[in-house]
Structure 1
Amino acid sequence: MRAAAVIGHGQIGARLVRDLLAAGVPTTVMTRSSAEVPEAARHLIGDAGRHADVAAAAAGAEVIFACFHAPYDARRWAAQLPGLERTVLDVAAESAATVVFPESAYGFAGVLAAEGVLRDDAAPAPVEAKGRVRQELLAARQAHPARAISVLAGDLIGVDAAPATSVVRMMITDPVAVGRRAMIPADPDVAHALTDIADLTAAMRRAGERPEDVLGAGSHRLLIAPSEAPTLREVLARAEQVAGGRRRRPLVLPHAALAAAGLVSRTILEVARLKPLWRRPGTLVASTELLEAGPASPWADSVAAMVRDGRSADGSPQRPGRAGDGASAEA
């Protein structure tokens, strides 16, 4: 691609900007406020809901990466995201650009609950409000004349994952990194789809580089990024191996406890409502077109990197000689 625009600079957008610049792609970043954007990028401050702002950011771009989001609340998603996406799609249609969206499995929770496996030809089957919002967004992308590609990922992991938005980091790897007890808000012994953010952004770039290969004669396509599906007990064991020290039995939270905690925390309530994604086996089958960019990063390496990063962020000394090197999962 000759030029790209990234709308949003959270955990996905920031990684994507670094990747694009490393590949030599001239990149414009639009954020709502000041942000630490790489000097090599063109940085604009604007509102993703304002047509003029998005058009200014997307000027000359072949691909617009829509990496904005809203607070983790189904009500806020329903109120904010449809308008933001419509504005970006309108700009893309006018400029003949392709829009690439990161997507979650929320709209397909019913498929995973019933089958345990999700492929890119599945029809949405939400089980709660956030999933219904995602279903509506996918339908709007499909109906819009702009070319759009949605790249679906599992729960995000990797050094780019923010503790506030990655359940694995918040509840498992960061606590273990500093010697605290991990909490598992799920059945710890079922396969759980995880995607390193680096793999998601690589998949999004691949989709944007050759959209004609993905879309064919259509205007929208859902793809699934390379992912792996360990159990969360395996994730915990790997985190403890890298951290060293005494192993501690995790606090495994039953669904009833999550639902009760949801009475005082909207975030926990939203997690609890996605019960099928946490209590049933779930595996994502990567789209063939995206596997050409490479397979999923080994989840054990991603977890190791998160633990080391958690120790560093806490100010604890890094321990040399631990097994496994993790290199490189708001949008």
Structure 2
Amino acid sequence: MALHTLLGGNGTIAQALYPLLLESGARVRLVSRSSPSVPGAESVAADMLDREAVMKAVAGSDVVYLLVGIAYDARVWKRDWPVIMQNVVDACKASRARLMFFDNAYMYGKQDGVITEETPYRPVSKKGEIRAGVARMLEREMQTGGLQAAIVRAVDFYGPGVTDKSAPGIFVFANLVKGRRAMWPVNADVPRSFNYVPDAAKAMVLLANDSRTWGETWHLPSVLPAPAGREFVRIAAGSLGTAGKVTVLPKWLLKAAGWFVPFMREAYEMLYQDEFAFRFSSEKFEKAFQFVPVSFEEGIRETARWFMKEKGNPG
């Protein structure tokens, strides 16, 4: 059986991905600082900044998934991401493992049209510049033929079980399920793309087991047309039986929040994704794999059901 190693085994995507890999008959190794214990999977503790630790964690792997999340701080990203990428590339080369890098869309910057895999990198943020640099590191390795790798990209995500690392989870579902007004950053009247986590995990399993994957960049499933914030809230509120009113958080308020909350200070430079239309296309993947993404209506309803069950506050 092929060994699939998930670097960042405690993260949101890893938690959705590894059960599907186990169901497919693969052996699974979860790697993180804390060595998560999961029935049916091997657990390994490793620091991604430690080259030898990464070498040992990857040894014997057939497919490696780089799913690592680090502190949401541009200074930390600039310092650590190039080191992490080089360590993982070197380890995959040494083990002759294929590498799938779970990337975001920050390097595209503000785009007027639909974002595809062919959209040029035009970052307008510090974190976007860093991610563009890291992506180019891997692209060079892919082009030289020294490593079989693929980049898979997602935007912000939502879904059952997705809470603290999801803007819809924090601003919409967590508030509505407690009878509060939903919130939305900056502009609730422009289209905003998201990825539904169960779809993203299914797509990665398909990609990992197909020879067409390697040497390419793929956008993970995201439905177009994307809803505006008010429509997203309306569907969520209808699923939870609550009022669909939304409080739009202005940029000045979010900037002020950054004076006290480090995460908000770092998130401020990314608000262009909410202020202007942000459309992310997965047509390439959908056509190649005959994949139909879960609609926003169904995905939002499923997420609302999960929040109602797990996060509700009866009585």
Q: TM-score, normalised by structure 1?
A: 0.87
5 Å matches for 1:203-218? 203-210=203-210, 212-215=211-214
Separation in structure 2 between the aligned mates of residue 253 and residue 273 of structure 1, nearest angstrom: 15
Q: 1:244 to 1:289 in 2, by over 3 A?
A: closer
5+ unaligned residues in a row in structure 2: which ranges?
none
CA distance in 2, matches of 1:92, 1:192: 35
Once residues 149 and 166 of structure 1 are traced to their aligned partners in structure 2, the CA distance between those partners, rounded to angstroms, is 24
Partner of 1:77: 77
Structure 1 residues 267-276 or 85-94, which shifts more? 267-276
* Aligned 8 A contact 2:178 2:312 in 1: no
| Other-structure match for 1:221 | 216
Could you tell me which residue of structure 1 aligns to residue 174 of structure 2? 174
Q: Partner amino acid for 1:109?
A: G
Distance 1:297 1:283 in 2: 16
Bigger relative contact order, structure 1 or 2 (CA pairs below 8 A, ≥6 apart): 1
* RMSD, aligned α-carbons: 1.9
SS at structure 2 position matched to 1:284: coil
The 2-side partners of 1:171 and 1:121 are apart by 32
CA distance in 2 between counterparts of 1:278 and 1:153 reads 16
Q: Secondary structure at the match of 1:138?
A: helix
**TM-score normalised by the chain length of structure 2:** 0.91
C-alpha change, 1:50 and 1:287, in structure 2 (3 Å) is farther
Distance apart, 1:104 and its partner CA: 1.1
Q: Retained in 2: the 8 A contact 1:90–1:146?
A: no
2:305 corresponding residue in structure 1? 308
List aligned pairs for 1:101-116, cutoff 5 A. Answer: 101-110=101-110, 112=111, 115-116=112-113
1:130 aligned partner = 127
The question of 1:16 aligning with 2:14 is answered: no
**Residues 28-177 of structure 1 mapped to structure 2, 5 A cutoff:** 28-35=29-36, 37-110=37-110, 112=111, 115-144=112-141, 145-161=146-162, 163-177=163-177
Q: 8 Å contact 2:193–2:280 — kept in the other structure?
A: yes
Q: Per-residue deviation at 1:186?
A: 2.9
- Identical aligned residues as a percent: 24
Q: Identify which of 234, 251, 256 aligns with 2:247.
A: 251
Partners of 2:254 and 2:266 in 1: CA distance: 10
SS in 2 for 1:283: coil
Residue identity opposite 2:213 in structure 1:
V
**Relative to 1, partners in 2 of residues 1:287 and 1:141: Cα closer, same or farther, differing over 3 Å?**
farther
Report how many aligned residue pairs link the two structures: 307
Tell me if the contact between 2:219 and 2:285 (Cα under 8 Å) persists in the aligned partners: no
**Cα shift readout 1:223-265 (whole Å, capped 9, x = no counterpart):** 11110221111110011111114x1632101222222222222
Separation in 2, partners of 1:120, 1:242: 34
**Cα contact 1:207–1:214 (8 A) shared by 2:** yes
Is it true that 1:236 corresponds to 2:233 in the alignment? yes
Once residues 317 and 25 of structure 1 are traced to their aligned partners in structure 2, the CA distance between those partners, rounded to angstroms, is: 40
